[in-house]
């Protein structure tokens, strides 16, 4: 274990690629540069609010002293750090946005441990060359959301970037939460984000758009060598690497669907080349099971990034990456074939995942048909997704319509119509019969389901309550949520978090809909 102040950081990315080392943080275009030097801007009164002991152990990093909290707040950097903001581009809501980049995230360098090499990044540490019209800061509200959710996703088993620390800054930040002309000052904060790499599809799109063929080739080769070394000696290594990116993205999409996670802003600059969940903004878990749900006000009315659309958007975004990589090929048939493999890969992951949610190890015609029936009926009934699937694991062996309604009552957000009752009870009756013929014992079936379906998720209304308490100087709920998220599949404990979204949260700002500034 070592302190952040004593650690010798690596700076392989900045040593390998061309960047703007001037340190000028004036918003501007930086053609041909993959990053710009960006020293964090000091804050008034940093205070450590959250610390991930689990991640710290993986990084072999000591709990920070007050002096080291100054580093996590961006008030100090060590001699081995070479802080920078990455430059990338992207498609936002389906439209080409051109150069984007880290507008409020500054990477300190690369941290090596026995568990690998990780980038440490401060989000909310001040302006960079890519801040455009923004201030480079983050508010406590959005920082708490990212800190808790990235750690929650890790414990759910979903590939994700992680969060090591949450620091309040003592500064006020002006934000217009819903872009409706009502800005307010909010407390500021900084999250220390951690990932093997924060490379996105947009890093490759940027160089392709600039027709920087050799720089694009160098970035691709470096990415393969560093993160996909199994392909480095292959003659068709770019295709094999792209196939792996397709695989990882398809798996990630199926995992989001498994736990009911809605990202909310699946722009190509928010898509990790490593298949990680990245850039937590206006996200939400599903409460009621609604394929058309989007938590992002900016995504209305089209609902491009709604829950049910996420797998197809994953494919669309991979298409943009393939377009960028096509600059390196004389013939694109191979790229096209790899891209088209996404559909089968996704559905294989999806049906396997859905069968496990229902307690079946095999994926045959019957299981697929049953999966489809559940999708259709749940979309009509719209029970609480998380509560429903945990109740399903304990469905009584002998069922009748009344017993079914009684068993699942706590998952319903409204009374069922007679037609809905009939649909639902018929489905559960047929499911129960099929489950009895399962090749697993009843105990093994429940165990499989309860390892696949979380009991505790980080609901927006709970996050909202924790944020309100922290803004008053109280951290009890925040700390309990952090503890609970590490026990997402536990059979008991934290019963007060196993509740449907309350009626007061259905329309309250921050509990149902959020904006990209969230």
Instruction: Cite the active site residues.
Output: 269
Q: Determine the Cα–Cα distance for residues 303 and 288; give it in Å rounded to an integer.
A: 17
Structure tokens at 207: 């160089």
The residue among 161, 150, 188 whose CA lies nearest residue 44 is: 188
SS3 98: strand
HSE, CB side, 13 Å, CA atoms: give it for residue 64.
24
Q: Which of 451, 467, 473, 392 is nearest to 427 (CA)?
A: 392
Q: Which two tokens stand for residue 459?
A: 């609901």
Q: How far is CA 310 from CA 207, 249, 317, in A?
A: 26, 11, 10
- The conformation of residue 320, written as its DSSP 8-state character, comes to H
Beta pairing class for 47-51 and 35-37: unpaired
Phi, psi for residue 494 in degrees, rounded to 5: 55, 45
Instruction: Answer whether 359's CB lies under 8 Å from 435's CB.
Output: yes
Judging by beta carbons within 10 Å of its beta carbon (0-12, 13-18, 19+), is residue 135 exposed, middle or buried?
A: middle
R_g of the chain, CA atoms, integer Å: 23
Residue written as token pair 């938590």 = 295
Phi, psi values for residue 511, rounded to 5°: -110, -30
Reading the block at residue 377, the tokens are 């009926």
What span, in angstroms and rounded, lies between the C-alpha atoms of 405 and 396?
Answer: 11
| Block residue for tokens 């390196």 | 328
Say if residues 328 and 220 touch (Cβ distance below 8 Å): yes
Give 389-395's long-range contacts (Cβ < 8 A, gap of 24+): 389/357, 389/449, 389/453, 390/450, 390/453, 390/455, 392/358, 392/359, 392/431, 392/449, 392/453, 393/359, 393/445, 393/446, 393/449, 393/450, 393/453, 394/446, 395/428, 395/431, 395/432, 395/435
Task: Go through the chain and tell me how many residues it has.
Answer: 518
Using CA atoms, how far residue 218 sits from 18, 34, 117, 246, in Å, is 11, 11, 20, 20
Is the Cβ–Cβ distance between 453 and 386 less than 8 Å? Answer: yes
3-class SS of residue 411: helix
């Amino acid at each position: 274990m070592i302190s952040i102040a004593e650690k010798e950081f690596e700076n392989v990315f900045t040593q390998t690629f061309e960047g703007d080392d001037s340190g000028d943080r004036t918003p501007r275009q930086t053609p041909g540069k993959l990053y710009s030097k960006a020293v964090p801007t000091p804050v008034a009164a940093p205070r450590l609010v959250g610390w991930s002991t689990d991640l710290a152990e993986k990084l072999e990093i000591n709990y920070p002293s007050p002096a080291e909290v100054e580093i996590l707040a961006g008030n100090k950097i060590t001699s081995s750090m070479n802080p920078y903001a990455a430059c990338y581009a992207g498609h936002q809501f389906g439209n080409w946005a051109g150069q984007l980049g880290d507008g409020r995230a500054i990477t300190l360098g690369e941290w090596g441990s026995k568990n690998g090499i990780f980038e440490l990044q401060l989000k909310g540490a001040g302006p960079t060359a890519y801040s455009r019209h923004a201030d480079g800061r983050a508010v406590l509200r959005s920082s708490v959301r990212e800190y808790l959710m990235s750690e929650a996703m890790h414990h759910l088993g979903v590939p994700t970037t992680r969060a090591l620390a949450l620091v309040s800054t003592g500064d006020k930040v002006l934000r217009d939460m819903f872009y409706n002309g009502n800005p307010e000052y909010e407390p500021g904060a900084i999250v220390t984000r951690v990932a093997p790499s924060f490379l996105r599809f947009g890093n490759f799109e940027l160089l392709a758009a600039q027709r920087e063929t050799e720089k694009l080739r160098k970035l691709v080769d470096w990415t393969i060598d560093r993160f996909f070394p199994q392909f480095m000696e292959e003659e068709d290594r770019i295709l094999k690497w792209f196939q792996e990116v397709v695989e990882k993205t398809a798996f990630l999409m199926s995992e989001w669907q498994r736990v009911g996670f809605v990202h909310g802003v699946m722009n190509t600059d928010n898509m990790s080349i490593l298949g990680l969940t990245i850039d937590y903004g206006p996200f939400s878990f599903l409460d009621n099971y609604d394929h058309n749900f989007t938590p992002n006000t900016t995504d209305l009315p089209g609902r491009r990034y709604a829950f049910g659309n996420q797998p197809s958007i994953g494919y669309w975004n991979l298409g943009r990456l393939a377009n960028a990589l096509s600059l390196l090929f004389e013939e694109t048939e191979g790229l096209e074939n790899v891209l088209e493999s996404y559909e089968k890969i996704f559905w294989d992951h999806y049906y396997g995942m859905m069968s496990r949610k229902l307690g079946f190890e095999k994926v045959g015609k019957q299981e697929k048909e049953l999966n489809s029936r559940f999708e259709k009926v749940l979309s009509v009934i719209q029970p609480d997704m998380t509560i429903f699937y945990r109740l399903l694991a304990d469905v009584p062996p002998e069922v009748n319509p009344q017993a079914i309604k009684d068993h699942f009552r706590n998952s319903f957000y409204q009374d069922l119509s007679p037609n809905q009752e009939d649909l639902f009870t018929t489905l559960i009756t047929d499911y129960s019969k099929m489950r009895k013929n399962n090749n697993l014992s009843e105990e093994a079936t429940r165990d499989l389901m309860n390892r696949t379906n979380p009991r505790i998720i980080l609901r927006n209304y709970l996050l909202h309550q924790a944020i309100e308490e922290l803004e008053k100087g109280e951290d009890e709920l925040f700390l309990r949520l952090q503890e609970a998220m590490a026990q997402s599949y536990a059979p008991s404990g934290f019963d007060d978090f196993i509740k449907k979204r309350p009626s007061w949260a259905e329309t309250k700002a921050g509990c149902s809909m959020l904006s990209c500034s969230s």
